[in-house]
Each structure stands twice: as structure tokens, then as C-alpha cells.
Amino acid sequence: MATAYDIAIKQAEPEQDGRASVVAVENLQKSFGSRKILNGISLSVRRGETLAVLGRSGTGKSVLLRLILGLETPDSGSVRIHGQNIAGLALDRLGEIRKKMGFLFQHAALYDSLTVAENVAFPLAHHRKDLSNSERGDRVKQLLAEVGMENDLAKMPSDISGGMQKRVGLARALALDPEILLLDEPTAGLDPISSGEIDELILKLQRERQMASIVVTHDLHSARTIANRLALLDQGNVVIEGKYEDLRQSEIELVKEFLKQQ
């Protein structure tokens, strides 16, 4: 039976260059109480493309990702995944769309009562009932091997480092073969070597899987490494969007200041 997601994919209109926007955010507004977080943001990402959303802490970068995943509801504007507006969808219908999305949380958000392997197996156990136990085990090992964690299957999240937790979180995010990958500060809190490894890993995954990715970060170096396009947020608005060179040549004071601080 065709899911809402499948129908939406068929209905999605391809853009002029033949590649449809997988994620399209239009005029998105979000406030918490009297505090305005996002003030009419519009962004889009296509298949095989990585957009890095930059900005200082508290500028609404993480909120943007949560809105795209449907963990928050926008005050106004739309979030379209393959053309389907997800605002107001019931949790189970939203779930059908979320199956095609992988999310790496800033602090990995691993289930602390489950082992590394069980964390990665969790989405598979719920959504891939067609897999036998041994097939699921093999898939978990393969996913953990992709992120270099194949030797830590039985460890608990509390027994591994922050960088390793992010790798496991990434393996879990990839478990259902997502078409969209959302990464919230993938290198935050990591040492430069671990950050570089995570960046390499993301690049490798992008090459192999051709997902549409949005990376929220305040690490310009990491953004330059893994993203095709960059967008700088400030006070709930997109200040500039384009390639790194566009940012470098920009005359906007805030952009200059941001690049200088990095």
C-alpha cells in the first residue's frame, strides 16, 4: 500500500534543473513565548546536496532542524518533505515521513539502557519486521562497521566517549536508509582529531548514499569540509546563503565578523 510519503514523492514537482527539492522550508516562523526564534526562513536542499546552517548559539539552528523533523510545530510557514507539508500531520502519518529521515542529535541521545548494538537495532526492530534476528544482527554490524564502531557492540553508551557516541548515533540515524540526513552539531564538543574523523565519515556517507543533508554547526571549518552550500543565520533570519566563496566575498558586516572569528 502506498504511504502518504510515497504519494507525496510522486506528486512532487521537479525543479528547473530536473532535481526536486527534497526538503523545502518556506517562510518559517517560530516563537517560544514572547521570544522570536525564526523569523520567516526559507531554505531548500536537493538530493545529494549538503547544506550547512551556521550561526552563533541561540540563533535557532537546532530549532530549524526540529521543525524539519516535526518535533516542533511552526507558528507559520511550511516544511515540505518531497512536496508534502508536514505541519499538522498526525504522529503516525508523520512517522511514515520520518522513516526516510535520519537525525543525529547534538548529544547523540542514545538510549542509555541499551547497548550500542541495541541502539542501532532499535529502529530496525520496529520498522523492518521482515528481517530475521540474524539478518538484523548482520545489518547492525554493517552499520557500525561503516562508522568504525564494529568492535564495541556490547558496550553501554555510558562506557564510550562523546565522539564514539556520535558515531553510534550516526549509525542509528542511517539504520532505515534515510534519504534525508539531519545533523545537529556533529562535531560540537569533540577534539580536532575526532571532529576531523566525523567530517570524513559524513563525507564518505554522502558519497556513498547521495542523501539530502542539513548540518547545523557553528564550526566553519567543518561546514566548509562537508557542505556544498552554507547559510548563515542571525536573529531568526538567513543573512546569506551560498558557497563558501560567496560568504568570503560578502560585504555584509556580520558575515565578515563571523568569518573573522573562526
Partner 1 sequence: MSNSEFTTVAGINPAIPGRRTAARLAAGNSSTGLVNGFFEWFGSLGVFSWKVLRAGVTPPYEWRELIRQLDEVGSKSFPLVALAGAAIGVVISLEARYSLSRFGAKSMFPTTLVYSVIQVMGPIITGLIVSGRVGAGIGAELASMKVTEQIDAIEASAINPYRLLAATRILACILMLPLLTLAADAFGLLTGWFAQSLVEPLSFHQFIQSGFHGATFNAFLPPTFKTAVYGLIIGLIACFQGMRTRGGAEGVGRAATNSVVLGSLFLILADVVLVKFILVFFR
Q: Rule CB under 8 A: which residues touch partner 1? A: 32, 35, 37, 57-58, 60-63, 66, 69-73, 91-92, 94-96, 98-99, 101, 103, 105, 107, 109-112, 122-123, 126-127, 172-173, 175-176
Shortest Å distance, C-beta 57 to partner 1: 8
Question: Considering beta carbons, is residue 171 or 225 the nearer one to partner 1?
Answer: 171
Question: Considering beta carbons, is residue 22 or 94 the nearer one to partner 1?
Answer: 94
Nearest residue to 184 via CA among 63, 77, 96, 81 = 63
Shortest Å distance, C-beta 24 to partner 1: 20
Question: Considering beta carbons, is residue 45 or 225 the nearer one to partner 1?
Answer: 45
Question: Considering beta carbons, is residue 73 or 210 the nearer one to partner 1?
Answer: 73
H, E, C per residue of the chain: CCCHHHHHHHHCCCCCCCCCEEEEEEEEEEEECCEEEEEEEEEEEECCCEEEEECCCCCCHHHHHHHHHCCCCCCEEEEEECCEECCCCCHHHHHHHHCCEEEECCCCCCCCCCCHHHHHHHHHHHHCCCCCHHHHHHHHHHHHHHCCCCCCCCCCHHHCCHHHHHHHHHHHHCCCCCCEEEEECCCCCCCHHHHHHHHHHHHHHHHHHCCEEEEECCCHHHHHHHCCEEEEEECCEEEEEECHHHHHCCCCHHHHHHHHHC
Shortest Å distance, C-beta 128 to partner 1: 11
Question: Considering beta carbons, is residue 101 or 225 the nearer one to partner 1?
Answer: 101
Shortest Å distance, C-beta 17 to partner 1: 30
Shortest Å distance, C-beta 209 to partner 1: 18
Shortest Å distance, C-beta 111 to partner 1: 6
Question: Considering beta carbons, is residue 69 or 225 the nearer one to partner 1?
Answer: 69
